[in-house]
Amino acid sequence: MKPKAKILVVDDDLDFIEISKLSLEGQGYQILSAFNAKEGWKMVEKQKPDLIIMDLMMERLDSGMALSQQIKGHPQYTAIPILMLTSIARDTGMDFTPRTRVTRGLERRSLLLEAKKLREERERNLLELANEKSRTQTIIHCMGDGLLVTNRDEQVVFCNPAGRRLLGVKRPIQVGEPIAHMTNDPELLSLVEAAMNLKEGQEMASKELVARMPNDPALMANCAPVKDEKNQTIGVVTVLRDITELKELDKAKSTFVSMVAHELRAPLAAIEGYLDVILEGVGGDDPQKMHRILERSRERTRGLLALINDLLAISRMQAGRLAKEKEKLPLGILLKEIAELMKGEALEKKVTIEMAVPDDLPLVQANREDVTRVFTNLLDNAIKYNHHGGRVFLRAGADDAFVRVEVQDTGIGIPKKDVAHLFDEFYRVKSKETRAITGTGLGLSIAKKIVEGHNGHIEVESRLHQGSTFRVLLPL
């Protein structure tokens, strides 16, 4: 059953309240009453009536008016219609027809409620729209790619912060300023123009923009036309992407390839030279000389093979970088095995290897092949760059977080200026001591990659003509 409409009658005249009750309750309304403004307000708060009939002048001249203002001023009750009655009207009976007035009042009330509902709905829609707009704005504001919108006259309509940053514009953009004020890159300007005049079937104009100043980013620009409902181009949306890193990677790759080519060419050219000497007989037929030439060729061939093996190691490392099998390695045992394998080489040079590796070294989570490569290289260098009859110390220990391995030698040492570059690819110290020692300059760079790939650290301390210490820390 529909609940009865509640009518509050506020009047200090008991008879009037009585009359109202008699005439309105019969019509199916629930009548509430209050005898003064204060009670009237309490009743409004408690009962939330659908309509109020109020005497304008009750105990005080303006109390009815004050109550009605209080009600209208409260957002929760403002929609409740109030019928104000004056005593004159009542006394004369002119304007006092509760039944008709109440009906009209309630109609008004339902209209007001309907209007309130519509207003709230509209506000909700507007809020949703505003939320959606601010969401989109936030996304555009925060995106890393630059976004630039220009109109038919090549004036800037919109530019996000990334767009300004990538174009090197520090000041705010004025809507409507020519795009040529933002950039003087002729390639970008002609790309935007080209996007305005694309042929049927072409969706966008794209181009890599060359950095014009040393610190400028390299950009990829994609310009697409904006069409109206008649398929007319009304502007251009340009997306700018910073491709500096990609370009650098590309450059690093080609530098590496040319370094490899260079490193391969030198020994091959030497071997070819020796072969020419033999084949053309220019070296005479001194067997000793011939032997020396062949030996040198063999050495260069070995160097070439070592280089190719190191290059293969690098490419294997890069290929398997993501999923390399790691195991709990007993590093102490592994180090002893490696030292054992190096004994032959050490003996040739009369170098002694002294070990201080505890048996109970904690296990490290690592790839066996990689770790073997690191310490083989360090021991190999410690022997190779040592003096005849020198010494090599292999020490290991552990603390709470790391296993520390040190390979120390009493060899030729490393000049200070070279230390910083020691782990660079193909870097070799050029001195009269190293001239006769073959190597690729890749061993230490590979070692560093491996150690860092295990979240470890490699460092070197060296004193020229006294020796070097390479230290590796691997996390437990």
Residues that bind ligand ADP (CB under 6 A): 377, 381-382, 385, 409, 411-412, 414, 422, 427-429, 434, 439-445, 468
Minimum CB distance to ligand ADP, residue 443 (Å): 3
Minimum CB distance to ligand ADP, residue 447 (Å): 7
Q: Which is nearer to ligand ADP, 21 or 428 (CB)?
A: 428
- Using DSSP, state whether 289 is helix, strand or coil: helix
Minimum CB distance to ligand ADP, residue 459 (Å): 13
C-alpha span between 222 and 237 (Å, rounded): 8
C-alpha span between 416 and 242 (Å, rounded): 38
Q: Are strands 219-227 and 233-242 parallel, antiparallel or unpaired?
A: antiparallel
Minimum CB distance to ligand ADP, residue 338 (Å): 15
Q: Which is nearer to ligand ADP, 205 or 429 (CB)?
A: 429
Minimum CB distance to ligand ADP, residue 321 (Å): 20
CB atoms within 10 A of CB 33: 19
Residue in this structure with the two tokens 């072409």, named with its chain if needed? 202
Q: What is the CA radius of gyration of the chain?
A: 46
Residue 187 burial by Cβ neighbours in a 10 Å radius (0-12, 13-18, 19+): middle
Q: Which is nearer to ligand ADP, 16 or 423 (CB)?
A: 423
Q: Which is nearer to ligand ADP, 141 or 265 (CB)?
A: 265
Minimum CB distance to ligand ADP, residue 412 (Å): 5
Q: Which is nearer to ligand ADP, 238 or 445 (CB)?
A: 445
Minimum CB distance to ligand ADP, residue 249 (Å): 23
Residue 157 burial by Cβ neighbours in a 10 Å radius (0-12, 13-18, 19+): middle
Could you please report the per-residue DSSP string of 356-420? E--TTPPPEEE-HHHHHHHHHHHHHHHHHTS-TT-EEEEEEEE-SSEEEEEEEE-S----HHHHT
Residue ranges with strand state E in 191-314: 205-209, 219-227, 233-242
Minimum CB distance to ligand ADP, residue 384 (Å): 6
Minimum CB distance to ligand ADP, residue 353 (Å): 13
Minimum CB distance to ligand ADP, residue 289 (Å): 28
Could you please report the per-residue DSSP string of 180-194? GGT---HHHHHHHHH
Q: Which is nearer to ligand ADP, 244 or 469 (CB)?
A: 469
Give residue number: closest CB to ligand ADP.
439
Q: Which is nearer to ligand ADP, 35 or 393 (CB)?
A: 393
Given a contact cutoff of 8 angstroms between Cβ atoms, the answer to whether 311 and 446 are in contact is no
With CA atoms as reference, report the closest residue to 338 among 351, 321, 357.
357
Minimum CB distance to ligand ADP, residue 414 (Å): 5
Q: Which is nearer to ligand ADP, 297 or 377 (CB)?
A: 377
State the Cα angle at 208 between 172 and 151, rounded to 5°.
45
Given a contact cutoff of 8 angstroms between Cβ atoms, the answer to whether 24 and 7 are in contact is yes
Q: Which is nearer to ligand ADP, 79 or 378 (CB)?
A: 378
Q: Which is nearer to ligand ADP, 398 or 447 (CB)?
A: 447
**φ, ψ dihedrals at 170, nearest 5°:** -90, -25
Torsion (CA) 64, 66, 67, 69 in degrees, nearest 10: 120
Minimum CB distance to ligand ADP, residue 476 (Å): 26
Cα dihedral 175, 203, 239, 252 sign: negative
With CA atoms as reference, report the closest residue to 52 among 116, 94, 114, 98.
98
Q: Which is nearer to ligand ADP, 70 or 434 (CB)?
A: 434
Q: Which is nearer to ligand ADP, 72 or 421 (CB)?
A: 421
**φ, ψ dihedrals at 264, nearest 5°:** -75, -35
DSSP assigned state of 152: T
CA atoms within 13 A on the CB side of 98: 23
